[in-house]
Amino acid sequence: MTTGSTEKVNGAKALIKCLEKEGVDTLFGYPGGQIIPFYNELYDSDLHHILVRHEQAAAHAADGYARATGKTGVCVSTSGPGATNLVTGIATAYMDSVPIVALTGQVPTSLIGNDAFQEADITGITQPITKHNYLVQKAEDIPRIVKEAFHIASTGRPGPVLIDLPKDVQNTEIDLQYPDRVELRGYKPTYKGNTQQIKRAAEEIANSCRPIIYAGGGVISSNASAELVELAETIMAPVTTTLMGISSIPTEHPLYVGMLGMHGCKYANYAIQESDLIIAVGARFDDRVTGKIESFAPNARIIHIDVDPAEISKNVKVHVPIVGDAKQVLKSLNKYVQRCKSEEWIEKVNQWKKEYPLTYRKSQDTIMPQFVIEQVSEACRDAIIVTEVGQHQMWAAQFFKYSKPRTFLTSGGLGTMGYGFPAAMGAKVGRPDKTVINIAGDGSFQMNSQELATVVQNDIPVVNVILNNGYLGMVRQWQELFYDRRYSYTFIKGSVDFVKLAEAYGALGLRAERPSEVRPAIEEAVRSGRPAVVEVIVECEANVYPMVPAGAAINEIIDLEEH
Amino acid sequence: MKHTLAVLVENKSGVLSRVASLFSRRGYNIDSLAVGVTEDPDISRITIVVHGDDHVLEQVTKQLNKLIDVIKVSDIGADDAVERELALIKVAADVDTRSEIMQIANIFRARIVDVAPKSMTVEVTGDENKIQAIEKLLRQFGIKEMVRTGKIAMVRGPKKV
C-alpha cells in the first residue's frame, strides 16, 4: 500500500509532505496558537501560503481557487474561533459541491473535551456541512487521512473535507510513508452510467417532440460542457441552465435559453413548463428552480443524470434515472441519440425568445445596474466573473455573455454574501492568466472588504465592480413587492467611501457616476494590473426581473412592464 | 409504514453520531436504535426502525449510503426475519403476588432475574408485540421501572445482509 522509503518527521512536517504529494501548491490561511507547529514547518516549505485577514475568506478563497481550476482548494486555520470562522465557507462549498480540504488546529488530545482555551468541537460542528471530516487521534494516521481526504473531496459528488489536528499530533514524530491508494469500503462512487438506462434515455429522446436539457453545476464540475453541447446539437433541444450551470454552454449558443427559475428568463420557464421531456444533467430540482413543485413541468417525462444517487427522485419523480458522472454518461448517451422531431418546438421557443427578451429600462442619466454588467461583458469577454449574493448576482447571471466553463463563480446553494471577493482572490491565484472580476453590491462587499489588505500584500489584481445602490437591494426588492415598501433596515447609503477605502488599503479606487464613465473606469481598473475597486453609483430602486414569487409556479411571472 | 434497517458501519468513534444526526437533520424519525459489534471486530451493526413511506425510506437509505463510514444498508422485511427486543421490567411484588407474576413470566418464557421483598425483575425477550403484551399484564401489579433495548433483526436462512 505504500511506496518509497520512510523518513522520520513530526506530524506537521508529515502533513506538508502529504499535501505536496497531493499536488497542492497554494494554501489560504491564518495562523493561531494550536496550528503553530504546522506554520513552523510551512516556513521552510515551498508551498505558497496566502495570509488572509479573516478565516472565512480563506475558505472562500480555497473554494474560488477550486471552482476556477478544477483542483482541490486548501484552507488552514487554528482551533476554536479560527475553525468556526471557516464554517460559512465550508457550508458554501458543501451546498455547491466544491472540493476543498480544510485543515484546523485543535487543542492537544489530553485537553479535548475540557473546554480548553480556544477549543471548539469543529468535527461535530461541521458534520452536516462536510462530505466527511476527521479528528486525527494519532500522528501515524496523518498520511492515510490526507490521502483519503483529497480522494473524498475531489471524487464522486465533490465536497469539503475537514481535518482537525490536535497540537500534540502535529508535534509527534512518525515514520512517514505516503500511501499510493485509498481503501474505503464504504465509498465507491458510480461513474459509468448503466447502459440499459442510457439506451432507455435515448428512446425517450427519440420519442420526444418538445425536449429540453436542464443543466446544473454538475456539468461544470465534471468538465462535461463539450458533451452537453454535442447532445443539444445532435438531438436539437434547447438548453436551460441553473445558476450553477451558467457557463456550461456559451450564452450566445443558438440553442441556449438562459437560466430558469425564480429570476430565470421567461422563455426558459415557459419552455420547461411546456416540454414533454426534461433531460436533467448534474442539477437537483432545487426550490428556486422548480417554483411550486406540484405545478412544475406537468407534462414532462424526466431523465435525470447525476453522480449522487440521493439526488434522484428527491424532489421530483424521475422516469429514467442514470447514476453516473455527467461527462461519462453524456459521452455514451451521445452514441445512441439522434435528432428528434423538435423543429416546431425550437421554432416556438425561438418565438418566445423574441417576444420576451431579458430587458431593462434604459437611461441616459442614471447608471442602470444591468448596463454595468453589459459593459463589463463587452470590456472583458474572457474574464472569470465572481459574484457576491443579491440583485447584482442575478444581473451578472442574466446580462454577462459567458463563453467558457468555470468563468462564473457564485454561491448558488447557500447564497453567501461576502463570498465573491475572497473567492475572486482564490480564482485569480489559481488562474493568474485570467482577468478576474468580482461583481459586488455595496452590502455584500462590506462583508469581506478586509481582504483588500490580502490582495494588496500578495499582489493579487482582482477587480471589484461594486454596484452601489445604497440598499440591501434584494431584500429591498422583496419589501417593495411583498411588504408594502416597508424598507425595514435595508437602507445603507453612505456606509463608506469605497474609493477611499480602496486607497486606504493601497488598492486602486475609481468611481463612475454617469453612464459614460462606466466603461472607462472598468477598462482602467483592468489595465492597471492592480487590485482595484470600481464603485458604480447605480439606480437605487432597480429590480431584478423577471421574477417568480416564492411558492408560485415558475410560469407565473412578474415582469418589468407590470411595475 | 415501519421499516427495519440493518446498517453496517466502520467500528470507529463518531460514526453513531453521524448516523443519528443525519436522521435529525433530514427530519426522519427513529423509532428504535440498537448498536453493537459484529462477527468482524472492524464493523458495527446499527439496527434502526424508521417509519415513513417508500419515498422516505428511499431517501433515508440513499443518505445513509452517502456517509463514508457506512458500508452497507439493508431493509429487512419483517416476514422473513427474526426480530428481537429485550426488556427488563421491575414489578412491585409481595408474597401475595409473587407466584402470579412468576406464572405470567413462565407463559412468556421470561426469566426472573432479581427478587427482593417488595419487587421482582423480569427479563423478557421477543418481538415488539410480545413485550407489549407482558408489559400490559404486569401493569396491574405496578411497574416500578422498565428498560428496553432497540430492536435487532436477522434475515432467516443462509442469506446475510
Specify the pLDDT at position A562: 58
Q: Is residue A112 part of a domain?
A: yes
Q: Is residue A183 part of a domain?
A: no
CA dihedral A171, A173, A177, A183 (to 10 degrees): -60
- Domain shared by A159 and A217, yes or no: no
Q: Is residue A527 part of a domain?
A: yes
- Domain shared by A439 and A517, yes or no: yes
Contact status, residue A439 vs residue A465, Cβ threshold 8 Å: yes
Q: What is the ipTM of this complex?
A: 0.90
What's the CA gap between B59 and A15, in Å, rounded?
37
- Domain shared by A275 and A147, yes or no: no
CA dihedral A514, A519, A525, A527 (to 10 degrees): -150
Q: Is residue A557 part of a domain?
A: no
Under DSSP, the state recorded for B151 is P
Domain boundary among A325, A355, A385: A355
The answer to whether A308 faces chain B, any CB pair under 8 Å, is yes
Host domain of residue A117: 7-176
The number of CA neighbours under 13 Å toward the Cβ of A197 is: 17
Q: Is residue A184 part of a domain?
A: no
Q: What is the pLDDT along chain A (563 residues), one digit of tens a residue?
A: 455 567 899 999 999 999 999 999 999 999 999 999 999 999 999 999 999 999 999 999 999 999 999 999 999 999 999 999 999 999 999 999 999 999 999 999 999 999 999 999 999 999 999 999 999 999 999 999 999 999 999 999 999 999 999 999 999 999 999 999 999 999 999 999 999 999 999 999 999 999 999 999 999 999 999 999 999 999 999 999 999 999 999 999 999 999 999 999 999 999 999 999 999 999 999 999 999 999 999 999 999 999 999 999 999 999 999 999 999 999 999 999 999 999 999 999 999 999 999 999 999 999 999 999 999 999 999 999 999 999 999 999 999 999 999 999 999 999 999 999 999 999 999 999 999 999 999 999 999 999 999 999 999 999 999 999 999 999 999 999 999 999 999 999 998 999 999 999 999 999 999 999 999 999 999 999 999 999 999 999 999 999 999 999 999 999 876 55
Of A131, A132, A310, the CB nearest to B59: A310
- Shortest CA distance from A153: residue in chain B: B68
- Domain shared by A420 and A278, yes or no: no
Task: Tell if the CB–CB gap between A186 and B63 is shorter than 8 Å.
Answer: no
Q: How many domains in chain A?
A: 3
- Domain shared by A508 and A535, yes or no: yes
What's the CA gap between B8 and B45, in Å, rounded?
5
Under DSSP, the state recorded for A140 is G
- Domain shared by A386 and A528, yes or no: yes
Q: How far is CA A73 from the centre of its chain?
A: 13
Q: Is residue A363 part of a domain?
A: no
- Domain shared by A387 and A466, yes or no: yes
The number of residues in chain B equals 161
Domain boundary among A176, A205, A234: A176
- Shortest CA distance from B56: residue in chain A: A314
Shortest alpha-carbon distance between residue B50 and chain A (Å):
18
Q: What is the pLDDT of residues B59-94, one digit of tens each?
A: 999 999 999 999 999 999 877 899 999 999 999 999
Q: What is the pLDDT along chain B (161 residues), one digit of tens a residue?
A: 889 999 999 999 899 999 999 998 888 889 999 999 999 999 999 999 999 899 999 999 999 999 999 999 999 987 789 999 999 999 999 999 999 999 999 999 999 999 999 999 999 999 999 999 999 999 999 999 999 999 999 999 998 88
Q: Quote the Cα angle for A377-A380-A383, to 5°.
A: 100
| pTM, rounded to two decimals | 0.95
The answer to whether A309 faces chain B, any CB pair under 8 Å, is yes
The CATH number covering residue A160 comes to 3.40.50.970
Of B25, B62, B71, the CB nearest to A185: B71
Domain boundary among A130, A146, A176: A176
| A146-150 LR contacts (CB < 8 Å, sep 24+) | A146/A15, A146/A18, A146/A19, A146/A22, A147/A18, A147/A22, A147/A178, A147/A179, A147/A181, A147/A182, A148/A182, A148/A184, A149/A101, A150/A22, A150/A72, A150/A101
Contact status, residue A253 vs residue A229, Cβ threshold 8 Å: yes
Of A128, A152, A187, the CB nearest to B21: A128
- Domain shared by A133 and A202, yes or no: no
- Domain shared by A135 and A221, yes or no: no
Burial status of residue A362 (CB atoms within 10 A of its CB: 0-12, 13-18, 19 or more): exposed
Question: Is A524 designated active site?
Answer: no
- Domain shared by A344 and A379, yes or no: no
Domains of chain B, with CATH numbers? 2-76 (3.30.70.260), 81-154 (3.30.70.1150)
